[in-house]
């Protein structure tokens, strides 16, 4: 017997969260590789020459780092779904990539805000059902999404 009673609706919610994590992975990885190309093409300012960096280079490294954190989120959510007896989705919510620095940040702030909003609902839902492990998992993930949000906000010009 499973310790927690869950139904299809519960798995649907958890899989929606997994869709959002997969979206973030695809989105940030794609932006990372685009930034790798853009950092070569952008004309550098004197400050960029002195520091040896331009904004695409800085953002590119961060995007790679955050994409890996999103993979960790996806994996943990998928594991939780499997433990509860569900089937983790392999589908993604539609990624919004963009063509330049400003687009990337705008789309990413939207994605992080959307995830946080949705995870607040999941936390409440999990608590109502007594699924403390899922609640705790999403609280931990939430903290990292908030960090991502503020980081993208800080990089916004």
Q: In this structure, what token pair is assigned to residue 72? A: 């960790």
Q: What is the DSSP letter of 45?
A: P
Comparing C-alpha atoms, which of 3, 8, 12 is closest to residue 77?
12
Minimum distance from residue 99 beta carbon to Fe ion (Å): 21
CB 65 within 8 A of CB 29: no
Say if residues 76 and 14 touch (Cβ distance below 8 Å).
no
The residue (of 44 and 71) whose beta carbon lies closer to Fe ion is 71
Shortest distance (Å) from residue 115 CB to Fe ion: 6
* Helix, coil or strand: residue 89: coil
Tokens 């952008």 — which residue? 42
Q: Which stretch binds Fe ion (CB under 5 A): 7-15, 25-33, 37-45, 144-152?
A: 144-152
Closest residue by Cα to residue 123 from 110, 142, 107, 108: 142
What is the rounded distance in angstroms from the CA atom of residue 72 to the CA atom of residue 2?
A: 25
Which one, 77 or 84, has the nearer CB to Fe ion? 77
| Least distance CB 21 / Fe ion (angstroms) | 5
For Fe ion, the closer CB: 21 or 57? 21
> Least distance in Å: CB of 107 to Fe ion?
12
Of 40-99, which residues contact Fe ion (CB under 5 A)? 70, 73
Nearer to Fe ion, 13 or 48 (CB): 13
| Smallest separation (angstroms) from Fe ion to the CB of 24 | 5
Size of the site for Fe ion (CB under 5 A): 5
CA atoms within 13 A on the CB side of 91: 8
32 is a contact residue toward Fe ion (CB under 5 A) = no
Does 131 bind Fe ion (CB under 5 A)? Our answer is: no
Which stretches of the chain bind Fe ion, using CB under 5 A?
21, 70, 73, 145, 148
């Amino acid at each position: 017997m499973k310790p927690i009673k869950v139904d299809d609706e519960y798995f649907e919610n958890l899989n929606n969260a997994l869709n959002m994590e997969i979206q973030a992975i695809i989105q940030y990885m794609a932006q990372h590789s685009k930034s790798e190309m853009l950092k070569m093409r952008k004309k550098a300012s004197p400050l960029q020459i002195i520091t040896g960096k331009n904004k695409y280079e800085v953002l590119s490294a961060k995007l790679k780092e955050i994409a890996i954190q999103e993979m960790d989120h996806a994996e943990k959510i998928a594991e939780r779904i499997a433990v509860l007896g569900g089937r983790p989705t392999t589908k993604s919510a539609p990624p919004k990539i963009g063509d330049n620095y400003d687009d990337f940040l705008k789309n990413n702030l939207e994605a992080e805000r959307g995830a946080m909003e949705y995870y607040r609902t999941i936390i409440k839902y999990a608590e109502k059902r007594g699924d403390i492990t899922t609640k705790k998992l999403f609280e931990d993930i939430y903290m990292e999404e908030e960090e991502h949000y503020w980081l993208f906000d800080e990089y916004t010009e």
